[in-house]
Structure 1
Amino acid sequence: MGRDHFKKPHEKSSHRSAPKSDNVYLASLSKLYSFLARRTGASFNKVILRQLFLSKINKPPVSVSRIARALKPEVSANKIVVVVGTVTDDVRIHAFPKATVAALKFTKGAKATILKNGGEAITLDELALRAPTGKNTLILRGPRNSREAVRHFGMGPHKNKAPKVQSKGRKFERARGKRRSRGFKV
């Protein structure tokens, strides 16, 4: 007997096609950027749209110090910085370049830092009016692997991963196999 199907007829796509959140602002933004992605054909809009669909964990915050670092080279000095997520403040930096930053959300401190240095903090729908094809923009993303939970992923010997333990005391998973003075160290 022959095979009827060489590919599953109803194969489920692993990518999101809409934001899972019921946030009205996110829904309207994804509607806007899906229109722009379709009509302009610019890959910038497709990237923004895909990032709007991501879960909160996969949209980590970006600090103003990371933005300042990205704007250091003269090439990217006068570009609009785009963050699909929250922009947070960093009290450790003293100087922030004059820049236009577009993001989903700004913390109070981050907005104050940007405005104090002569910059602008705009929303993503305002960005769509200014740069519908993403010309002269710079997309930034936050560190996804800085979460505490990531320390435990991919356990195994010689991986230096943190074990998942209930108790975190001196006696729990800190002796044999963890220190040279206690038998051996993996």
Structure 2
Amino acid sequence: MEFRRVHNRLLLSRTNKASMSLSRIAKFSRGEENTGKVIVVPTAVLDDVRLPTIPKMRVCALRFSKMAARRIEAAGGECLTFDQFATENPTGSNTLLLRGRKSRREVVKSYGAAGVPGSHTKPKCTHKKNERGRGRRRSREWKVKSFKYAQK
């Protein structure tokens, strides 16, 4: 791992610096090739209550939530800041660099063209008046009458 890559990740905007949960970190730390490695996460590490037990792991992160830090240390692991990690391991060897998923934001659901056949885009407008289906298309069996005449 190069510290330049970590530096670039630290400079990302808040939108692009997605947080990571303990379950995701535990998932990536499994396996023989990742045992004993320091997991470097240049963002916040949050607790995940869905994971009952976490393995022993050393995690270096920008910040930890209180419960995440408590659970890592209770499992026999270690929470490191970047200053501690740099003094301990100046070469940055034997590490695993991870990042959170940027596509988990709510706004990503509305990317794309809403109303197009086959599109699963979330409509930006949630009012039924503006989203009422008109015309014949694959998802409708018959042509819908105009809303103005349907009320009579």
1:57 to 3, 9, 15: 15
Structure 2, unpaired ranges of 5+: 144-152
SS in 1 for 2:2: helix
The corresponding residue for 2:97 is 139
Equivalent residue for 2:3? 45
In our comparison, the structure showing a higher alpha carbon Rg is: 2
Superposed, 1:27-46 pairs within 5 Å as 44-46=2-4
CA RMSD of aligned residues (A): 2.3
Q: 1:138 to 1:174 in 2, by over 3 A?
A: farther
Cα distance 1:68–1:174, how it changes in 2: closer, same or farther (>3 A)?
farther
Structure with more relative contact order (C-alpha pairs < 8 Å, separation 6 or more): 2
> Residues 62-91 of structure 1: CA distance to partner in whole angstroms, max 9, x if unpaired?
000001101111110210000000000000
Paired position in structure 2 for 1:37: none
Q: Flag the 1:55–1:183 CA change in 2: closer, same or farther, 3 A.
A: farther
Q: Structure 1 segments of 4 or more deviating over 6 A?
A: none
Change (3 A) 1:143 1:182: farther
Q: How many positions carry a matched residue from both structures?
A: 140
Equivalent position of 1:163 in the other structure: 123
Residue identity over aligned pairs, in percent, reads 39
TM-score normalized with structure 2 length: 0.82
- Give TM-score scaled by structure 1 length: 0.68
- Structure 1 residues 183 and 115: CA distance shift in structure 2, 3 A: farther
Partners of 2:131 and 2:82 in 1: how far apart? Answer: 47
Q: Which amino acid aligns with 2:122?
A: A
